[in-house]
């Protein structure tokens, strides 16, 4: 839907034409790669920067996601505290908060019209177990020094005023989220990069990454620094199949809604919305008055296969539509104009990372587990600073240098990922029936390396 609605459509770019030598080559024209290129040229305009894209700008998750620029990392505060310290983990958390605002600042400065609206996120509690978790979560965050300006517990009336879904018992308002049109943001960012002198080539597939070079199907690129911003598609590079698994998420979008329907649903300040089930759902009210809504269906294909046919599976989209109508029955007869999907990248310990090895000149970032719109800005900014040798408040954050072990060989990773999904779905069903699911959650956390 985002790509279909782009004003003027997609403008194709040329492919690489033979061998080339540059200062920095970036693989992947999504958010991570383009933010890296953007900040490299702002830090050192003399650098020659080439971005290689196998398909077109925004082809992957950057052009297909839920449009949540959410200031959080999938691993959470406690995991990064174990890696470093609580103080450093909190510093990383604040830096991710700031990345939401940084996106808005850059979009305004570069004239990128991406429907940026910082309305926060409302996470609804729709059963007693979800409400109990939310009460404990807000108390915990407040004990760490956050306030209601960051995380605010909502009573049922306040929650329904923001998002008039069914079965609402309460909710959390998280302030550090902006709704965006991701395709307009990523294509606008590409134009901003080109205005700074970055060269972007499309229809050019990277095949092998080595220190100082990238072999593509269109020629060899040599460079002092190589940035791998391939996220879920990392598994398709030679020798890297088990470094990141591609996990599927799927979305639907309604037709533009009439004012009466929008008034009944709420979301007047365009907060993104979800509830606290384990099988994640996510939605937003778009700038043109649609509801764009997504979730997980069949999450993973054997052997880390990426298959375009899986993106439009009818059974998965039917489940997502049922979840949407369960939230908002008023949408039962509204036309669904778009159904789509794609893959997101997950490292073995579900921990997003930024890495740059000065000896080899290879940098990379990713593993966002579907929350990459805002963190990719921080990651790209940090990679650029590491490459030019700047020491900033970002270059020693605890996600910098983090290494995850490889995923298990098949069939073990298929069994683990599919098994974890079944466990989480079972936990949601138990909680909806008023039962506890502590054993299931502990088992799922162990499978996910938590």
Average pLDDT for residues 381-396, to the nearest whole number?
Answer: 98
Q: What pLDDT is recorded for position 443?
A: 62
- Mean pLDDT across the chain: 95
Average pLDDT for residues 241-247, to the nearest whole number?
Answer: 94
pLDDT class for 437, splitting at 50, 70, 90?
A: confident
pLDDT(447) > 70: no
One domain, residues 431 and 401? no
Q: What pLDDT is recorded for position 316?
A: 85
pLDDT(194) > 80: yes
Average pLDDT for residues 84-92, to the nearest whole number?
Answer: 98
One domain, residues 54 and 111? yes
Share of the chain above pLDDT 90, in %: 88
One domain, residues 19 and 49? yes
One domain, residues 395 and 414? no
pLDDT tens per residue across span 369-380: 999 999 999 999
pLDDT(156) > 90: yes
pLDDT(143) > 90: yes
One domain, residues 74 and 109? yes
In a domain, 20, yes or no: yes
pLDDT(449) > 70: no
pLDDT tens per residue across span 329-371: 999 999 999 999 999 999 999 999 999 999 999 999 999 999 9
In a domain, 418, yes or no: yes
pLDDT(445) > 70: no
pLDDT class for 73, splitting at 50, 70, 90?
A: very high
One domain, residues 87 and 54? yes
Domain that holds residue 418: 409-450
pLDDT(94) > 90: yes
One domain, residues 112 and 194? yes
One domain, residues 102 and 196? yes
Q: What pLDDT is recorded for position 419?
A: 84
pLDDT(442) > 80: no
One domain, residues 402 and 420? no
pLDDT(421) > 90: no
Confirm if 57 and 258 have CB atoms less than 8 A apart: no
Number of domains making up the chain: 2
pLDDT class for 58, splitting at 50, 70, 90?
A: very high
Average pLDDT for residues 200-216, to the nearest whole number?
Answer: 97
One domain, residues 398 and 416? no
Average pLDDT for residues 432-442, to the nearest whole number?
Answer: 77
Q: What pLDDT is recorded for position 283?
A: 98
Q: What pLDDT is recorded for position 11?
A: 87
Q: Which residues pair with 123 in a beta bridge?
A: 172, 274
Who wins on pLDDT, 225 or 419?
A: 225
pLDDT(165) > 90: yes
pLDDT(418) > 90: no
One domain, residues 352 and 428? no
pLDDT(222) > 70: yes
pLDDT(1) > 80: yes
């Amino acid at each position: 839907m985002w790509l279909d609605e782009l004003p003027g459509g997609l403008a194709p770019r040329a492919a690489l034409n033979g061998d080339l030598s540059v200062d920095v080559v970036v693989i992947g024209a999504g958010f991570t790669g383009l933010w890296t290129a953007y900040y490299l040229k702002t830090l050192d305009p003399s650098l020659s920067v080439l971005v290689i894209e196998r398909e077109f700008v925004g082809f992957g998750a950057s052009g297909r996601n839920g449009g949540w620029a959410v200031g959080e990392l999938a691993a959470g505060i406690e995991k990064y505290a174990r890696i470093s310290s609580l103080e450093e983990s909190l510093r990383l958390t604040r830096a991710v908060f700031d990345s939401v605002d940084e996106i808005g600042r850059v979009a305004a400065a570069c004239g990128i019209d991406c429907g940026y609206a910082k309305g926060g996120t409302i996470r609804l509690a729709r059963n007693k177990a979800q409400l109990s978790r939310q009460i404990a979560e807000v108390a915990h965050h407040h004990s760490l020094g956050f306030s209601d300006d960051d995380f605010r517990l909502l009573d049922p009336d306040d929650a329904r005023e923001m998002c008039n879904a069914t079965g609402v018992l309460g909710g959390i308002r998280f302030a550090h989220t902006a709704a965006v049109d991701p395709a307009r943001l990523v294509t606008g960012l590409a134009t901003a990069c080109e205005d700074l002198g970055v060269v972007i080539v499309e229809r050019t597939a990277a095949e092998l990454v080595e220190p100082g070079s990238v072999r593509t199907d269109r020629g060899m690129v040599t460079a002092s620094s190589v940035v791998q911003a391939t996220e879920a598609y990392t598994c398709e590079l030679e020798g890297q199949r088990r470094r990141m698994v591609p996990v599927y998420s799927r979305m639907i979008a309604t037709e533009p809604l009439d004012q009466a329907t929008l008034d009944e649903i709420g979301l007047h300040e365009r907060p993104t919305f979800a509830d606290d089930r384990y099988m994640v759902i996510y939605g937003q009210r778009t700038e043109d008055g649609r509801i764009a809504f997504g979730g997980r269906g069949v999450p993973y294909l054997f052997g880390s296969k990426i298959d375009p046919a899986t993106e439009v599976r009818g059974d998965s989209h039917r489940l997502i539509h049922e979840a949407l109508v369960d939230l908002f029955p008023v949408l039962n007869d509204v036309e669904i104009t778009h159904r789509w999907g794609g893959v997101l990248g997950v490292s073995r310990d579900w921990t997003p990372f930024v890495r740059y090895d000065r000896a080899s000149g290879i940098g990379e970032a990713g593993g966002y587990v579907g929350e990459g719109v805002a963190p990719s800005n921080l990651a790209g900014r940090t990679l650029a600073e590491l490459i030019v040798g700047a020491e900033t408040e970002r270059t020693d954050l605890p996600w910098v240098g983090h290494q995850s072990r490889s995923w298990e060989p098949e069939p073990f990773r298929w069994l683990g990922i599919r098994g974890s999904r079944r466990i989480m779905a079972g936990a949601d069903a138990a909680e909806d029936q008023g039962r506890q699911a502590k054993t299931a959650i502990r088992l799922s956390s162990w499978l996910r390396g938590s």
